[in-house]
Amino acid sequence: RTVASAAQARNCRQEALHHGTDVEERPPPDQRRLALGADVRLPGDVYASGLCARPQADHHPRSAGRLNDNTDPVAIAAVVLARRQPAVAMGYQKTTLMLRNLPNDMTGATLAEFLNAKGFGTRYNFVYLPVDFKRKSGLGYAFVNMETHNDALHTMRVLDGFKDWTVNSMKVLRVDWAAEQGLQTLVNRFRNSTLMHPDAPPSFRPMCFRAGVLVDFPPPTKRLRRPRSKAYSQKDLAPEGSV
């Protein structure tokens, strides 16, 4: 296996942090080897991502019982922490799903009921189904954030290809990863939207849940702009694939 020096480990970690990239979660290296200044092997995903160059193999093996004067404890600790971080950039921790080909008469509330009926009642914490404000009908897609990545994977396996709707619809449901990920990202996107203004119908708004129970959406961080008309602003609709 390729071996990286402590300096290379530090540089790779710094590059990963600069790019907002975490590396694959793996068991931490043997603590005794780290304390003795043993060489640090970085996960292959770091090199594959292009964040740093793959180092040449070290042809000068060190004694397992001797401290290495060139070993930087901070660099070693950084590598250990990196291995314990979730690999968001690698896609392992995604939680936000985009559901396509939903019946147009479905609302956010009925989508939540659908998820509950399928056994996901406590596994999601966010639902938003964009609505055509003039026609007051759904646009056929929605965003759902699951509690965990495994919940999201399970939801994808169960719902992708679903077509046995209780309404008159021949649509085949497709479930994919949303472009933007995470509950906080979704909250930040919508909390200052005119959708959250008191004049906007509650049925048009994104919803947050806790343990299957609807809870108040986090409050805005600035004064909300009032909807300009009964039709409301189409700018507040999340374009398909934009979240």
Amino acid letter, 88: V
In the chain, what percentage of residues exceed pLDDT 90? 40
Is this model's pTM higher than 0.75 or not?
no
Mapping DSSP to helix (H, G, I), strand (E, B) and coil, where does residue 80 land? helix
Distance in angstroms (rounded) separating the CA atoms of residues 108 and 206: 7
Closest CA to 40 of 81, 8, 86, 63: 8
Residue 235 CB burial class (10 angstroms; 0-12, 13-18, ≥19): exposed
Task: Answer yes or no: is pLDDT of 46 > 50.
Answer: no
Please give the span between the terminal C-alpha atoms of the chain, in angstroms, as a whole number: 40
Q: Which residues, 6 or more positions from 53, have their beta carbon under 8 angstroms from its beta carbon?
A: 47
75 vs 72: CA distance, rounded Å:
5
Q: Which residue has the tokens 């849940």?
A: 209
Angle, helix 6-18 to helix 73-84, in steps of 10 degrees:
50
Decide which of 233 and 137 is more confident: 137
Q: Could you tell me how far CA 17 lies from the centroid of its own chain?
A: 17
Q: Name the helix (H) or strand (E) containing 215.
A: strand 213-215
Alpha-carbon dihedral sign for residues 190, 196, 197, 201: positive
**Residue 15 three-state SS:** helix
Distance between CA atoms of 12 and 51, rounded to whole angstroms?
7
Question: How far apart, in whole angstroms, are the C-alpha atoms of residue 205 and residue 224?
Answer: 14
| Angle CA 136–216–133, to nearest 5 | 10
* pLDDT for the residue numbered 49: 41
Q: Which of 143, 53, 159, 51 lies closest to 98 in space, CA to CA?
A: 143
pLDDT band at 182 (very low <50, low <70, confident <90, very high): very high
Residue 138's contacts (CB-CB under 8 Å, 6 or more residues apart) are 102, 103, 104, 105, 106, 107, 129, 130, 131, 132
Look at residue 207 and tell me whether its pLDDT is greater than 80. yes
Q: pLDDT digits over 81-129, tens only? A: 434 344 444 445 899 999 999 999 999 999 999 999 999 999 999 999 9
Domain boundaries, the chain: 6-84, 96-236
DSSP secondary structure letter of residue 160:
T
CATH architecture designation of domain 96-236? 2-Layer Sandwich (3.30)
Higher per-residue confidence, 24 vs 238: 238
Strand order in the sheet with 174-177: 174-177, 96-100, 141-146, 124-128, 207-210, 213-215
Q: What is the pLDDT of residue 137?
A: 84
